[in-house]
Amino acid sequence: MVSIEALEFTYDGQRKFQFPDFSIDREPLLILGESGVGKTTLLHLIAGLLRPESGKVSIDGQEVSNLPLHKMDRFRGRHIGMVFQRPQFIRSLDLGENLRFIQYLSGKSPDNTRIKKVLDSLGLSDRINCASYMLSQGEQQRAAIAMALINHPTLILADEPTSSLDDRNCQNVIALLQQQAEVHQADLIIITHDLRLKEGFTQTLSL
């Protein structure tokens, strides 16, 4: 359950963004918009990586826009999983260690069964000891989803997860995200300028 209300943000006192109110509950949301309309800004506001100038963001009944910084870090670690346009990993760790470290960051105790389960569901079990930069691009994209899911998030935020993928992989990734969100009973918000995605979503929002 995510809702935003009268959200506003200004960069350097010049570029002002106002975002329409919305609220979702278990139904995946696709946010479409051209470059520069503030899609990533909106996503970062929801994730608490940016502070809104005014307005409210609530996740599962918790108003996050005014949480102190360290509490926001903790909240993000426990409740939000993020997928980025280009998959990001900690370079010096292998895939399994990356997942374990993300578990550690959320303050949860290490859970190898969970790691195994998530990797299994994404077809990556045999890559657990592989250095992140040795994974193929398709594997990296799936591994990025594994990172987002590992801590049982209640909200998955995906920032242009498909822009660098071909049609077939694009469909696969979106299907995976939707399927995994459903399995994990998490809210899913995807922002993109990729019109290929429009068909698969019942809820869309254009900025």
Give me the residues that bind other proteins (CB under 8 A), please: 40-41, 44, 47, 49-50, 69-70, 73-74, 76-78, 82, 84-86, 88-93, 97, 100-107, 110, 147, 151, 159
Bridge partners for 190 per DSSP = 30, 158
Pick 78 or 196: Cβ nearer other proteins: 78
Structure tokens belonging to residue 76: 């993000």
DSSP 60-127: TTEE-TTS-HHHHHHHHHHHEEEE-SS----TTSBHHHHHHHHHHHTTPPP-HHHHHHHHHHTT-GGG
CA-angle at 82, arms to 63 and 138, nearest 5°:
165
Q: How far is the CB of 91 from other proteins (least distance, A)?
A: 6
Q: How far is the CB of 45 from other proteins (least distance, A)?
A: 9
Pick 52 or 201: Cβ nearer other proteins: 52
Q: How far is the CB of 97 from other proteins (least distance, A)?
A: 6
Pick 147 or 173: Cβ nearer other proteins: 147
